Amino acid sequence: MIKIVRAWKTAEVPNPHDVSARRLYETEHVEVVMVTLQPGEALKLHVTPVDVLFYVLEGRGVVEIGGEREEAASDMLIVSPARIPHRLLNESDAVFRFLVVKTPRPTESTRIL
């Protein structure tokens, strides 16, 4: 059976980063969230108990993982290993939108640093 999720029709979910986040899909195996950072917004530095994949949908931003800093842009996939401090920032003057894929879906909470 085909399941289609229209991201723009999905409600925003509360999150510790206080940014726009929409949970698009969730099972015991995976969690997929679309995050939109407005200019000047950023995720707080945090660690997750599972590996995280970030796929950039729109715009440009910065990713920090384990003290390293790189530019992130559309159509890039970024891998953040479990338990390594990371965050994404929008230092541009346009929207920065990306998917967050956590696998497996975490059973522990994200820890803000």
Taken in order of first residue, the domains within the chain and their CATH numbers are: 7-112 (2.60.120.10)
Between 27-36, 63-72, 88-97, 104-113, the lowest mean confidence (pLDDT) is in 104-113
- Three-class DSSP category at 9: helix
Q: Is the pLDDT of residue 34 over 90?
A: yes
Q: What is the average pLDDT value for the chain, to the nearest integer?
A: 97
pTM score of the predicted model: 0.95
Q: Which one, of 41, 84, 43, 113, lies nearest residue 33 by Cα? A: 43
- pLDDT band of residue 45 (cuts 50, 70, 90) is very high
CA distance 55 to 78: 6
β-bridge mates for residue 14, sequence order = none
> Which pLDDT score is estimated for 42?
99
> Which pLDDT score is estimated for 66?
98
Q: Which one, of 52, 68, 60, lies nearest residue 101 by Cα? A: 52
Q: What percent of the chain has pLDDT over 70?
A: 100
Q: Is the pLDDT of residue 51 over 90?
A: yes
